[in-house]
Amino acid sequence: MENQNIPYHLKPTFFIKSKTNNKEFAKQYFMILASETTEPALIVRKLVYTNDYELYCDDFDILKKYKDHFLFQQIFSIKLSTLSSVLSVIFTMKNEETK
């Protein structure tokens, strides 16, 4: 299949600073990827600063090493329609639990 030049558009990015369940520093960058021929998708870029190499080495890429700490990165996407469906199910389940 030929590589088609599909014009993609990235909507403005925002980020959230947080900590992982293991109390490590993390940042998640979010952007919307859209084109005229594909469904919009949420792109998530997650950065984690940690000294626990074993926990992240399989699923994340190493960006930098600082003495005994690492900066790991993971990038993934989800279609907005899929995200909406998942959130709908989660909110329904949560509302049923509180009844």
Provide the whole-model pTM: 0.77
Model pLDDT, residue 37: 84
Residue 32 inside a domain? The answer is yes
Residue 2 inside a domain? The answer is no
Residue 41 inside a domain? The answer is yes
* Domain count along the chain: 1
For 83, the token pair is 């995200």
Per-residue pLDDT tens listing for the chain (99 residues): 444 565 666 666 899 999 999 999 999 999 988 888 888 999 999 999 999 999 999 999 999 999 999 999 999 999 999 999 999 999 999 888 887
Residue 1 inside a domain? The answer is no
Residue range of the domain that includes 14:
8-97
50 and 22 Cβ atoms separated by less than 8 Å: yes
46 and 19 Cβ atoms separated by less than 8 Å: no
Phi, psi of 3 (to 5 degrees): -75, 110
Model pLDDT, residue 3: 47
Model pLDDT, residue 1: 41
31 and 9 Cβ atoms separated by less than 8 Å: no
